[in-house]
Amino acid sequence: MQDDWSNDMAVALRLKRLGRKNHPFYRLSAIDSRSPRDGRVIEELGHYDPLLKDKDKQFVAKIDRCQYWLSVGAVPSETVSSLLKKAGVEHKSLRLPKPGKPKAAPAAAAAPAATA
């Protein structure tokens, strides 16, 4: 018997939104990339509650399962990549924004000119 997911299925690690209006709660899931955001999942990997004050309890994930999915080619979303990076996961497929030159704030540049 073959697994629930096959080799031709593109798997994504992404957040599934739950919770009520103005109180978001997300589940970290391994999902077929062609399915809708809140559609059928392959495996639940953890959860993320951005409104919790305790940073340790905000993001809880099964790190070993996340690393397994990354190793078999799952593509994480940018948000999931940053959450996994903060949790200490190192992998080449994590998509993080490239560090670039910070943009100068226009208000800070105008302030010295006004005082002169």
Q: What is the pLDDT of residues 76-115, one digit of tens each?
A: 888 888 888 888 887 766 766 666 666 665 655 555 555 5
DSSP secondary structure string for all residues of the chain: ---SS-TTS-EEEEEEEEEETTEEEEEEEEEETTS-TTS--SEEEEEE-TT-S-HHHHEEE-HHHHHHHHHTT-EE-HHHHHHHHHTT---TT---PPP-PPPPPHHHHHHHHHH-
Residue-range domain boundaries for the chain: 1-90
Q: pTM value?
A: 0.70
Q: What is the pLDDT of residues 9-34, one digit of tens each?
A: 789 999 999 999 999 999 999 999 88
**Is a pLDDT exceeding 50 seen at residue 55?**
yes
For the domain spanning 1-90, the CATH number is 3.30.1320.10
User: How large is the average pLDDT for residues 65-73?
Assistant: 90
